[in-house]
Structure 1
Amino acid sequence: MPDHSPTLVRAAGASYFPIALVARLPYAMMVVGVLTLVVAGRDSLAFGGLNSAVVGLGAATVGPLLGAAADRFGQRRVLLVSGVASTSALGLMAWVVYSPLPAAVVLAVAYLVGASAPQIAPMSRSRLVQIIGARIAPGRRSRTFDATMAYESAADEVVFIVGPFVVGILGTTLDPWAPVAGAALLTLVFVTAFALHPSALAAAGADVQAAPPAPAREIARPALLAVVAGIFGVGLFFGSMLTSLTSFMADHGEPASAGLVYGVMGIGSAALALGVALFPAAFSLRARWLVFGATMLAGAALLPFVSSVGAMCAVLLLIGCGIGPTMVTQYSLGALRSPAGRSATVMTILGSAVIVGQSLASAVTGNLADRFGTSTALVMPIVAAAVVVVAGVANAVLSPRPAPTDLAAGAPELELAGR
């Protein structure tokens, strides 16, 4: 019988993917934008890093709650409220840094920035998984899921590279407050568009037909916690790399260009992340994590020996070839191991782990750069990459043996064999 089920693009709507891509950009701009803004306005890299860490604290404490609320009440209501709150918090941040108010007030607003951040990436994954289960023919679900996870992870990874790049452009050409103001505007327009997109209703309809959600305690399974630890390590790498790179570029007289140089990492990263869908099934998820995590670590190990901007770009290009596929693998494993009815919660936890790691590493690395100089700060990306590799080893040990499983009720059945 011919297969008349729609493609995912048709099922979600042609406008869905560009809206979802741009809507997640403010989340990637927050930490770096706040860092750039506070360093310029309060003249302290350490205080800028501390504010970035507080942004991460806000995301860590409230982000997963937003995911749980979306699982219970639907994405539309949660995103509309968080979008307005985030726009307001970002606008307030742009003002308070240059005000005479004390540092404690700046830190409080930084917390609000993280706490109100709309969780677009995890909501997008959860929404698409539900649509795949409800609208895509069973024979095409597994392949569609793999391609979707590759795209979503690549989009996340690219956005976390492009975000600092955009911050660098706006901060260099306009003013240090411009990236935060730009993030506020993007949030107001595109997060609202994402919340109101018809695909939100399609996903909600699939959820109504799903089985009752699994107990929340199932999220704490060791195999899933290994994924959280690994993606936290990637966040650590993002934060430590950008902050140490900022110090490196300051030594070369161009601190505002750090975001632009950082964007070089996205070239190899984006290419290999998108290419993950073409990897053979024999190249298992646990093997991919180890191989590309080791690539990250090898590239990071070269950083203390870099002495020129050109050499730094070459090393960043190599590191990017490891980061992209690693993030694709981690998000795929997270989706595969999400308990039934908890996909938005799990995806939000993973997204929060990235930004928490990024924020924490920004604070620690900024302090090291202020106290001991760039050479010491450049050791931190090595530590972060080592965390990714160690978590990959733990994942390989904890990965279940070949057995069929469900992503969630109504989601495509996928084999975990060799993963």
Structure 2
Amino acid sequence: MSQHHPATLIRATGPSYFPIALVARLPYAMMVVGVLTLVVSGRDSLAFGGLSSAMVGLGAACFGPLLGAAADRFGQRPVLLVAGLASTTALGLMAWVVYSPLPGAAVLAVAFLVGATAPQIAPMSRSRLVEIIAARISPARRERTFDATMAYESAADEMVFIVGPFLVGVLGTALDPWAPVAAAAVVTLVFVSAFAVHPSATAVRSARGTAVETAPAAELARPALVVVIAGILGVGLFFGSMLTSLTAFMGDHGNAEGAGLVYGVMGIGSAAFALGVALFPASFTLRARWLVFAGVLVAGTAVLPFVGSVAQMSLLLLVVGVGVGPTMVTQYSLGALRSPVGRSATVMTMLGSAVIVGQASASVLTGTLADRFGTGAALVVPVVAATLVLLAGVANWVLSPAPAQSPSTRMVTPPLANAGTSA
């Protein structure tokens, strides 16, 4: 490992890294909603649209962690180049098959393919940055840089998961229902390829040498890691149920298309507080953060079924956002710190896939409830999702030994080298 340490992460990665990584993750956030919009328009069935977007989630869940494992094994560059090409093809196929005379089964198969080939940019970026911090940033700056990076990455995720559905709405309304899926295909081809060939993809391997120690796969099933995956699945369930129940709520108020805009309000509080996590004192431990902000999430969502106007809903979502952002940052930080040696990309893709699975399955469930029992019933689902996040936080508190929680001691060694400790 080189003894020369760049002063900042931006110097270590190069200035082009962050803009490319940000845009490259947009298609992932557009896929579920884009497929839903496309299928509802092309096949004229909300239920079938929901089923199709659930297939996207299922594809991502089955193959996302495998892409992560492949990246840990062969490096990110070849895996992302192949996935990017496959994803572009699958999205193009999706735009065509919906309007083709082929049966519904063909649409579902292609939707599964869209999820299965989705390039896992956000988890790959986290994994790449965590390893660069461990290899290239001076030990004195490592802990602060790690906190700030996890905060930024989660804020970036928040942003694209709100901007993505919003873009789908704009493109679908202004141009055509197939436009968002076509746009996602183009962005994938250009930006995922750019992310794959970026010099930072190989910087990690050359920094730590070619002999990469890899922990046994069984270590991925440790309770301390499983509880983080359960918690972030709850956040995904919250995203899906919130957007779907909000769409029903806005429909009741005569403006279903405006759901994306109102949903965006939640992103303001969420992203602001996600970035603010880097400023929290070390004494405010990760296990405590999870409980505090999940508590805010539960308190906010508990009011949802009683909201009467769009203005009240916007105000409430601003508050709810305060709970979402820091919870995600905390979960990703714990995931990074608990990753078994050499399995960082695998763990990050497992967390990313859990968000998508939650989003897709909650969308289907919430949509069904809204159709059968009305908006009131649909607005209860985000409360259940938030409660799941809090319960996982309680389990995490029990599984996290207090002394090892102090962030000031956790980054003395590279984060992936001390993964055996319970952070």
TM-score, normalization by structure 1: 0.95
Question: Are the aligned partners of 2:142 and 2:411 in contact in 1 as well (CA < 8 Å)?
Answer: no
For 2:173, the aligned partner's letter is T
Q: Secondary structure at the match of 1:101?
A: coil
CA distance in 2, matches of 1:351, 1:407: 27
Q: Where do residues 128-167 of structure 1 align in structure 2 (5 Å cutoff)?
A: 128-167=129-168
Is 1:41 aligned with 2:42? yes
Is 1:108 aligned with 2:109? yes
For 2:335, the aligned partner's letter is G
Question: Are the aligned partners of 2:219 and 2:340 in contact in 1 as well (CA < 8 Å)?
Answer: yes
Is 1:396 aligned with 2:406? no
Q: Where do residues 20-419 of structure 1 align in structure 2 (5 Å cutoff)?
A: 20-208=21-209, 211-403=212-404, 411=416
Deviation at 1:255, TM superposition (A): 2.1
Deviation at 1:100, TM superposition (A): 2.6
CA distance in 2, matches of 1:142, 1:413: 13
Deviation at 1:112, TM superposition (A): 0.4
Cα gap change, 1:142/1:408 in structure 2, threshold over 3 Å: closer, same or farther? closer
Question: Are the aligned partners of 2:27 and 2:184 in contact in 1 as well (CA < 8 Å)?
Answer: yes
Per the alignment, residue 15 of structure 2 pairs with 14
Deviation at 1:39, TM superposition (A): 2.0
Cα gap change, 1:374/1:327 in structure 2, threshold over 3 Å: closer, same or farther? same
Range that drifts further, 398-407 or 282-291: 398-407
Q: Secondary structure at the match of 1:212?
A: coil
Deviation at 1:245, TM superposition (A): 1.4
1:5-54 CA-partner distances (Å, limit 9, x unpaired): 33110110100001001101111111111122222222222222211111
CA distance in 2, matches of 1:410, 1:211: 15
Question: Are the aligned partners of 1:65 and 1:345 in contact in 2 as well (CA < 8 Å)?
Answer: yes
Deviation at 1:293, TM superposition (A): 0.7
Question: Are the aligned partners of 1:63 and 1:348 in contact in 2 as well (CA < 8 Å)?
Answer: yes
Q: Secondary structure at the match of 1:5?
A: coil
1:269-314 CA-partner distances (Å, limit 9, x unpaired): 1100000000111111111111111111111111111222222211
Q: Secondary structure at the match of 1:282?
A: coil
1:195-218 CA-partner distances (Å, limit 9, x unpaired): 010110102223535651111110
Deviation at 1:416, TM superposition (A): 7.5
Deviation at 1:411, TM superposition (A): 4.9
Question: Are the aligned partners of 2:339 and 2:416 in contact in 1 as well (CA < 8 Å)?
Answer: no
Deviation at 1:409, TM superposition (A): 6.3
TM-score, normalization by structure 2: 0.94
1:319-348 CA-partner distances (Å, limit 9, x unpaired): 111100000000000000000000000000
For 1:290, the aligned partner's letter is L
Q: Secondary structure at the match of 1:345?
A: helix
For 2:38, the aligned partner's letter is L
Question: Are the aligned partners of 1:58 and 1:114 in contact in 2 as well (CA < 8 Å)?
Answer: yes
Q: Secondary structure at the match of 1:280?
A: coil
Q: Secondary structure at the match of 1:307?
A: coil
The root-mean-square deviation of aligned C-alpha atoms, in Å, is 2.1
Cα gap change, 1:4/1:66 in structure 2, threshold over 3 Å: closer, same or farther? closer
Range that drifts further, 353-362 or 123-132: 123-132
Q: Secondary structure at the match of 1:62?
A: helix
CA distance in 2, matches of 1:392, 1:18: 32
CA distance in 2, matches of 1:402, 1:338: 19
The runs of at least 4 consecutive aligned structure 1 residues that moved more than 4 Å come to: 404-417
CA distance in 2, matches of 1:42, 1:208: 52
Q: Secondary structure at the match of 1:339?
A: coil
Question: Are the aligned partners of 1:141 and 1:412 in contact in 2 as well (CA < 8 Å)?
Answer: no
Deviation at 1:361, TM superposition (A): 0.5
Cα gap change, 1:406/1:272 in structure 2, threshold over 3 Å: closer, same or farther? closer
CA distance in 1, matches of 2:172, 2:297: 28
For 1:172, the aligned partner's letter is T
Deviation at 1:407, TM superposition (A): 10
Deviation at 1:377, TM superposition (A): 1.1
For 1:16, the aligned partner's letter is Y
Question: Are the aligned partners of 2:233 and 2:358 in contact in 1 as well (CA < 8 Å)?
Answer: yes
For 1:141, the aligned partner's letter is R
Deviation at 1:228, TM superposition (A): 0.1
Deviation at 1:63, TM superposition (A): 0.5
Range that drifts further, 76-85 or 148-157: 148-157
1:107-155 CA-partner distances (Å, limit 9, x unpaired): 1111001000000011111111111122111111111111111111111
Cα gap change, 1:304/1:4 in structure 2, threshold over 3 Å: closer, same or farther? closer
CA distance in 2, matches of 1:411, 1:219: 13
Q: Secondary structure at the match of 1:264?
A: helix
Question: Are the aligned partners of 2:337 and 2:415 in contact in 1 as well (CA < 8 Å)?
Answer: no
CA distance in 2, matches of 1:408, 1:62: 32
Q: Secondary structure at the match of 2:294?
A: helix
Instruction: Structure 1: state its 5+ residue gaps.
Output: none
Deviation at 1:3, TM superposition (A): 8.4
Question: Are the aligned partners of 1:339 and 1:407 in contact in 2 as well (CA < 8 Å)?
Answer: no
Question: Are the aligned partners of 1:405 and 1:414 in contact in 2 as well (CA < 8 Å)?
Answer: no
For 2:300, the aligned partner's letter is G
CA distance in 2, matches of 1:258, 1:103: 28
Identity of aligned residues (%): 74
Deviation at 1:172, TM superposition (A): 2.4
Deviation at 1:408, TM superposition (A): 8.6
